[in-house]
Every structure is written in structure tokens, then in C-alpha cells.
Structure 1
């Protein structure tokens, strides 16, 4: 099943990001940190913030996948939460956590049609 594969992949990504984050923190702890005078201090802070942001997004994606599994258990998976119509299989293949059909997702994001920008 696509959700299980995506969940396993995301879990692996989270583990790798946590290792990266811990490595950055540990490496930084070995050096006397003085961001004001250390030319690498701002790079390290940026790298740490970047990995933390990636980790937060991966955690949220995992939560979305878990909610998709709950919908699957309730026989509510694959239905648009807005209009109630089935979400096309092609969309679920790309985004197994999707809760909106393409039309409702575009409407929610303020798109008037394909290729147009928000008003």
C-alpha cells in the first residue's frame, strides 16, 4: 500500500534528520562558540535551523500519513473532505495523505483555474 511505503520512507527520513541535527549540535558543543567572532557560527546556526525545519516538516508529513491511515480504517479514505466526491487515484498515488480533490484544493488555495495566480 502506498501510505505504508510513504510512511516508512518518511520515518527513515526523520531518523536521518535527527542524526544530522544531533551531529550538528554535538560538533558545535566541541567548539567554543562565539557567534559574534566565529565566521562559522552563522553557518552552523543556519544549518541547524535548516535541518530543524526539515525535521518539523517531516514530522508533520508523518502525522498526515497517520491521519490517512485512520481514515482508511474508518472507510473514509479517498473522499474529499470538502465536496465528498472521490479523490482521483492518480492524486492519491502522488499524495496519499490528500484530503481534498484537485478542484477543492485549487479553490481553497485561491486558484481560479489552471495556470492562474491568486487574485
Structure 2
């Protein structure tokens, strides 16, 4: 998905502000993904230069941990990017800012902090069954 243009004519001030928040968060998340990709590639390249035996090399376990940690951060950032894309889609369809659980409006303060939020504070506090 390409970054949206917040300057489209016909958008209400509220929708324009939401779109700008989502676009800014999306751009920051893309930058974080790019940085994490570079960091991950650097770890892999550094390990390729030496024969690392994680089981017997004292540095091997910390390297494996570092690689796993960066991979987890990368997965989390990619998931956040997908959530932002879904939020942009909800904005376009007119469902942005409504709780997906109870249908009530999500407070603007929550959306300012968590632009991709899908639930109101009350519903977010309810433990989900898996």
C-alpha cells in the first residue's frame, strides 16, 4: 500500500487529521522496518564471516539471542504496518474510529495515541478468549 495523501479535497478536518496520523505512523514504521532489516542483515553477515557454533562458542548464544530479538522486533513492526493499512482501509470505508467489539466510538484521545486501535478502552480491557 502506498502512503496516502492527506491533502485530498472533500475530507473532513477529523478524517484529514486521522489520515495524517496514520500516514505519519506508517512512514515511521516503514523507517523502523528498514532499520531493523539492515540490523538483521548485519548480524547475519557478521556471523557468516566466522564459524559460529552456538552450542560451544560463548559468543554464539548471545549472537543467536540478538538475531532472534531483532527478528521479533521486525515481525512486530511488520504487524503494526499491516494494522495501519487496515486502519486506512477502515477510514476509507467509513468505519474508522468505531469499536469493532461494541460499535461505540473510540475516544479521539485513544486514536491519537494508537491510530490503528480497533477497540474502545472498555472493550480493550476485557480479556480475549483464544
Tell me whether the two structures share a fold, i.e. TM-score over 0.5: yes
Which residue is 2:103 aligned to? 84
Q: What is the deviation of 1:82?
A: 1.2
Q: What is the deviation of 1:66?
A: 0.3
Which residue is 1:43 aligned to? 62
Q: How many residues align?
A: 110
Q: Give 3-state SS (helix, strand or coil) of 2:27's partner.
A: helix
Q: What is the deviation of 1:36?
A: 2.6
Which 4+ residue blocks in structure 1 deviate beyond 6 angstroms?
none
Q: What residue ranges of structure 1 are gaps of 5+ in the alignment?
A: 111-119
Q: What is the deviation of 1:107?
A: 2.0
Q: What residue ranges of structure 2 are gaps of 5+ in the alignment?
A: 1-19
* Residues 1:61 and 2:72 are matched in the alignment: no
TM-score (norm 1): 0.88
CA RMSD of aligned residues (A): 1.2
TM-score (norm 2): 0.81
Q: Give 3-state SS (helix, strand or coil) of 1:35's partner.
A: coil
